[in-house]
Amino acid sequence: MTILGVSTIYMYPKNVITAIKDAAMMGFRHINIFAYPPHFKENSENFVNSVRKTIFDYGLDCSIKIQGYTINLAATNPNLRKKSLEEINYWIDIASKLNCSSIILRAGMFFYAERVFREQTYNRLIKDLNEISEKTSSMGIETYIENYPYPFDVVALPSDFLKICKLLRTKTYPALNLSPLYDVYRNRRINVLSDVQTTLPWIRALYVSEYVNPWDHPHKLGPERRNEYLEFMRRIIDLLKRSELGPVIIIGFSKDDLINTKKFLSEIMLF
């Protein structure tokens, strides 16, 4: 079932509970928790219980967005890879305590060292993703993998999702972020529409934002490029209407951002 949601990053660094209450009052039914301090307090059982109660009281579905800035699941450096797995497993346990329906993560990045040992690194990444998806599945949580716009990212295109998903034993789905997909479309001139079409049966979640590159360098485009970007999103969303889409999550940095994007989506998807 398609439901409209919001990333709590729009209130960062304020307390995530404030964001949850505010978003619920604005009519959003899904909360994508931006799991990063001080927005979300770590190692506090009382805080986790308060978040769970707030989500329950407002009758919301929820997911956790695991940050991908300081971790790299594909790293050849064993210490970084160990830290990355520990952090992902920590947030999986938090997601279970909050009764979240899903987690969203970055598959990993291939820098020079990873590219030198490409095959070995990729096989190890698939092994780790298998363990993650099997753990979440046993908890009743779905695992979504998000695309990023950079050439060193394992997943930049929908076809990259397919390559991974077909190798995993447990069902894992794409969380398609339209903003970085637009970056790839502009910079590489790839037939993104065809790529999305091929991936439709797998796509379960969607990120939508007025901002280009919202996680790393959020910025809005000038009038001409903005119109092109909006048309690009319309074309992709028209395709996605035929998929089994779950949460459609707005990324914004103010209430006005959320209202504007919600209006844009309501014209296309009839929320």
The domains of the chain are located at: 3-269
Q: What is the pLDDT of residue 271?
A: 61
pTM: 0.96
Q: Does domain 3-269 have CATH number 3.40.640.10?
A: no
Name which of 169, 83, 175 is nearest 127 in CA terms: 169
Q: Which residues of 110-124 are buried (b: 16+ CB within 10 A; e: fewer)?
A: beeebeeeeeebbeb
Q: Which residues of 165-185 are buried (b: 16+ CB within 10 A; e: fewer)?
A: beebebebbbbbbbbbbbbbb
pLDDT, tens digit, for every residue of 198-221? 999 999 999 999 999 999 989 999
Q: How does the average pLDDT of the chain come out, rounded? A: 94
Q: What is the pLDDT of residue 188?
A: 81
Q: What is the pLDDT of residue 269?
A: 79
- In whole angstroms, what is the distance from residue 126 CA to residue 130 CA? 6
pLDDT, tens digit, for every residue of 224-259? 899 999 999 999 999 998 888 999 999 999 999 999
Residue 240 neighbours by CB under 8 Å, 6+ apart: 176, 196, 200, 203, 206
Q: What is the pLDDT of residue 211?
A: 96
